[in-house]
Amino acid sequence: MDFAWGFQLCKSPPEYQDIADFNEGVQQAHLEDLNCTRCRFTWTNKQEEGARKWMKLDRAIANIDWITRFPNTSAHALEPGVSDHSPIVVDADCGERYYPKMFKFLNCWTHHSLFQRLVEAYMNSVLHCQRNLKKDLKQLHKEHFSSITDRVVVIWDQLRSCQQAIQLDPLNTVLKSLTKEQKFMILKWGC
């Protein structure tokens, strides 16, 4: 298995020796490509149609010990969302897992008049700041922004659908335009 260039070492294209050294390291570590499913390409330069490039740059790799310990491991290249790279999810299929709900900060909160006052109120009491501020920000979200998360979920779904369609029709200008609008909305609402 040879990799043209497994990771970005610098902004300029790699020299032949860099590629050879990387491939040798992959071989010495006995790493194998996990063969990602879903997205055919994992990177795009996001240029206009005539100059646009699509490539499979990103990969998930594992050694024999991993593959033996987790034989049902799978890798999935997801739609890139707002990035130029597709994230790759590696699932070791270890059964049920529970993750506590994460605190999610929304950029749109910073534009609300109460936000500045809430943050300033807790700046003086550093010890209890995070827990209490988190509670009050959740209340601010509940009262003023609760439906935004649902709207952003819909926009993410639309973005994923567009990006899946672009994988099949990379020159489609309508899909490109829709994708650009959806990314703007996601970045605007900070989700």
pLDDT at 2 over 60: no
Q: Which has the higher per-residue pLDDT, 85 or 11?
A: 85
Q: What is the pTM of this model?
A: 0.50
- Cα separations in angstroms, 191 against 51, 146, 155, 156, 188: 30, 12, 10, 9, 8
Distance from C-alpha of 54 to C-alpha of 57, rounded to nearest angstrom: 9
Mean local confidence (pLDDT), 88-92 = 87
Query: Model confidence over 3-23: pLDDT tens digits?
Result: 444 444 445 667 888 888 888
Percent of the chain whose predicted confidence (pLDDT) is above 70: 84
What's the per-residue H, E or C state across the chain? CCCCCCCCCCCCCCCHHHHHHHHHHHHHCCEEECCCEECCCCEECCCCHHHCCEECCCCCEEEHHHHHHCCCCEEEECCCCCCCECCEEEECCCCCCCCCCCCCCCHHHHHCHHHHHHHHHHHCCHHHHHHHHHHHHHHHHHHHCHHHHHHHHHHHHHHHHHHHHHHHCCCCHHHHHHHHHHHHHHHHHCC
Query: Model confidence over 21-80: pLDDT tens digits?
Result: 888 988 888 888 887 888 788 888 877 777 878 888 888 888 888 888 888 888 888 888
